[in-house]
Amino acid sequence: MARASIALAQLQNLRVVELLATVIANLVEGEVMQMKTDSKHLLNFDYYIQKTYLKTATLIAKSCQATAILGGQQEEIAEIAYQYGRNFGIAFQVSSSFFLHFSFLY
């Protein structure tokens, strides 16, 4: 993480540094959510999606957004890149969890 932070700082793009710094905070928040998961949260789909976003999709989403920003794209394109990464990250984690939990069926 330290080396990645140094590399980010060398980009000299404050917006990208801020975006990817929030990823670290999101990852920690997602881990805390997972540790707090109890029977009340276990079947709460919205809780699951939020935790999945924070633990997995935030890195993909904000990396896609940062790439668009560094590529000089307009804000609208950067937001589309973010949404793509968010949806891709959630879909990846959901499918990965599904196959992990139900692989015994195959």
The C-alpha atoms of residue 48 and residue 8 are separated, in whole angstroms, by 30
Q: How far apart are CA 44 and CA 101, in angstroms?
A: 17
What are the Cα distances from residue 106, in Å, to 30, 80, 100, 102?
30, 36, 11, 8
Q: Is the pLDDT of residue 23 over 70?
A: yes
Q: What share of the chain in percent tops pLDDT 90?
A: 61
Q: How far apart (Å, rounded) are the C-alpha atoms in residues 66 and 84?
A: 12
The per-residue pLDDT for 11 is: 87
| pLDDT at residue number 84 | 98
- Total domains in the fold of the chain: 1
Q: Say which CATH number the domain at 65 has.
A: 1.10.600.10
Helix%, strand%, coil% for the chain, nearest 5: 90, 0, 10
What is the phi-psi region of residue 12: left when phi exceeds 0, alpha when psi lies from -120 to 50, beta otherwise?
left
Residue 100 has pLDDT above 80, yes or no: no
84 or 20: which leads in pLDDT: 84
Under the banding of pLDDT at 50, 70 and 90, the label for residue 99 is: low
d(CA 19, CA 63): 8
Question: Region 40-58: what's the mean pLDDT?
Answer: 89
Residue 102 has pLDDT above 70, yes or no: no
Q: Provide the domain limits for residue 96.
A: 2-105
Q: What's the whole-model pTM score?
A: 0.83
Mean pLDDT, range 78-104, rounded to an integer:
85
Q: Can you tell me the distance from the alpha carbon of 34 to that of 28, in angstroms, rounded to the nearest whole number?
A: 10
